[in-house]
Amino acid sequence: MVLQDKELKEKALNAVEKNKDVVAGDRFRLTYHLMPPVGLLNDPNGLVYFQGYYHVFYQWNPFETKHGIKYWGHYRSKNLVDWETLPITLAPSDWYDKNGCYSGSAVVHDGKLFLFYTGNVRDAEGERETYQCLAVSNDGVHFEKKGPVIHLPEGYTAHFRDPKVWEESGRWYMVIGAQTVKEEGVIVLFSSDDLETWEHHGILAGSNRNGLADFGYMWECPDLFTLNGKDVLVFSPQGLEAEGIKYNNIYQTGYLVGDFDRENNNFTHGEFDELDRGFDFYAPQTLVDDNNRRILYGWMGLPDETEAVHPTRKHQWIHALTIPRELELVEEKLYQKPVEELKQLRGDHVVFDDVDIKDQSIKLPKVEGKTVELAVSVNKSNADVFTLEFGSVAKLSFNQTLQLVTLERKTIKGDGVHSRSCRLNQLSNLRIFLDKSSIEVFLNDGAEVFTARLFDYDNDPTIQFSAKGTINIKVEKWELIL
């Protein structure tokens, strides 16, 4: 039997209350990132700017540090730095979402907030059902469920979810991540005049609609938006095989840039490229704010086997969101930049304008720590390899000869080392955000990004710079304080 909404929400709040001390006692708990108060967090959901606040909802299992029943948790902020916890938004209390209020999005219409999400249901035989559901709020705090607005159309399996809705010239559009009955990953398009009646336009991308055949068995969490005159489709395909340095995580996240012909529901696009080169990034979503910035949050995690060995599970929580990143499109490439507001976190500052490194390893006074921002720019370089080491837990290196950036880290379990790489012609600058057990690296003004969790069981705060050959750099470091 499905428990009442109120009861389910109370159960979750009790789990928060019961575990809050053990969660707070975790030395790997992040400081300025959004995390679950207890239990498991996965995708960012419903990102929206509404009545002066940024709203971030998230997939949340309050009862376990693994996937299971999903609620929508809710944070809001005026400045993307200081966050307030709001009442639980959605609990899986109805016949159409009883096995999970899965991912979705939010739009503002007539002064109200409209949430679209996937109701995940298992029938009596354990077969999956999927409903795209609506919930509405006047104040952005309390939500009323309205039930399903879209039932599964023909041609797809029940892996049909994660509605992302937006408005253009008085018309509403929705993209959904789906799997065809031939088990191909696709993005499906709907449109509507009133947010309640939705017309199905079929496949927008995948299944060789405009290229991209045999590209995974399921595509999750789509987002489609216009940036710098182009249309960008972000999604998370499952089932890609690794190809050299590409697609090395269990599932991928990337984007297509092209032109979305709204009249004919046709999206012509270029090649798929990965959005993040690190170990822990999935299911991102974006919002536009009142300054017309396109801001992205990702899940700093992946649904994979390493979850079982995360040390934070002992402390009854797992996973976090990335820092917010402003997107820019430059020559069909997405750049990600930490939003300006994060400078408010900056505390103690040191700067070294002119650091020479020649076939050696060096440390700089006070350039160390676990919750810091680091900015490095290259003044001049003849080095073959330039490396930054973070204790013994991670190493970031740029190899000029190979034109390759590599992030190596100790595995989450701590029993080995593995790496992720991407191509880069030349290194001009780096910005790095460390937060207790995470690293986010932005190279060349955000042209490439590496996101990863780092569990340093040795708790070594040193940061070391080294070069093979000669390099001259400027280094700045800030303590980050919330």
Catalytically active residues, by annotation:
43
70 touches ligand FRU (CB under 6 A):
yes
- Using CB under 6 A as the criterion, what x/- string covers residues 140-169 for binding ligand FRU? ---------------------xx-------
Q: Which of 223, 188, 2, 24 shows the shortest CA–CA distance to 105?
A: 223
Please say whether the beta carbons of 354 and 376 come within 8 A.
no
33 touches ligand FRU (CB under 6 A):
no
Q: How many CB atoms lie within 10 A of CB 46?
A: 28
Residues 225-230: contacts with CB under 8 Å, at least 24 apart:
225/166, 225/286, 225/288, 225/294, 226/260, 227/294, 227/327, 227/328, 227/329, 227/334, 228/328, 228/329, 228/330, 230/257, 230/258, 230/259, 230/329, 230/332
Q: How far is the CB of 156 from ligand FRU (least distance, A)?
A: 14
43 touches ligand FRU (CB under 6 A):
yes
Q: How many residues bind ligand FRU (CB under 6 A)?
A: 14
Q: Which of 384, 441, 446, 450 shows the shortest CA–CA distance to 421?
A: 450
132 touches ligand FRU (CB under 6 A):
no
105 touches ligand FRU (CB under 6 A):
no
DSSP code at position 119 = E
283 touches ligand FRU (CB under 6 A):
yes
Q: Which of 28, 30, 34, 42 binds ligand FRU (CB under 6 A)?
A: 42
Q: Which of 15, 16, 50, 59 binds ligand FRU (CB under 6 A)?
A: 59
Q: What is the sign of the dihedral through the CA atoms of 22, 438, 359 and 402?
A: positive
Left if phi > 0, otherwise alpha if psi is -120 to 50, otherwise beta: which for 478?
A: beta
Number of helices and strands (H, E) in the chain?
A: 1, 32
303 touches ligand FRU (CB under 6 A):
yes
Written as six digits, the tokens of 282 are 């999935």
307 touches ligand FRU (CB under 6 A):
no
276 touches ligand FRU (CB under 6 A):
no
89 touches ligand FRU (CB under 6 A):
no
Q: Which of 67, 198, 90, 185 shows the shortest CA–CA distance to 144?
A: 90
- Nearest CB to ligand FRU, comparing residues 161 and 164: 161
Q: How far is the CB of 59 from ligand FRU (least distance, A)?
A: 4
- Nearest CB to ligand FRU, comparing residues 40 and 195: 40
220 touches ligand FRU (CB under 6 A):
yes
221 touches ligand FRU (CB under 6 A):
yes
Please say whether the beta carbons of 233 and 255 come within 8 A.
yes
Find the binding residues for ligand FRU in span 363-382 (CB under 6 A). Answer: none
- Nearest CB to ligand FRU, comparing residues 430 and 452: 452
Q: How far is the CB of 356 from ligand FRU (least distance, A)?
A: 46
- Nearest CB to ligand FRU, comparing residues 97 and 456: 97
Q: How far is the CB of 164 from ligand FRU (least distance, A)?
A: 11
Please say whether the beta carbons of 286 and 299 come within 8 A.
no
DSSP code at position 293 = -
Q: How far is the CB of 449 from ligand FRU (least distance, A)?
A: 19
118 touches ligand FRU (CB under 6 A):
yes
| Residue tagged 């095989």 (tokens) | 241
98 touches ligand FRU (CB under 6 A):
no
What is the b/e burial string over 242-265, where b = at least 16 CB atoms within 10 angstroms of the residue's CB?
eeebbbbbebbbbbbbbebeeeeb
Q: How many CB atoms lie within 10 A of CB 408?
A: 17
- Nearest CB to ligand FRU, comparing residues 140 and 301: 301
Written as six digits, the tokens of 414 are 């701590």
215 touches ligand FRU (CB under 6 A):
no
Q: How far is the CB of 476 from ligand FRU (least distance, A)?
A: 35
211 touches ligand FRU (CB under 6 A):
no
DSSP code at position 120 = E
Q: Which residues bind ligand FRU (CB under 6 A)?
A: 42-43, 59, 70, 102-103, 118, 161-162, 220-221, 282-283, 303
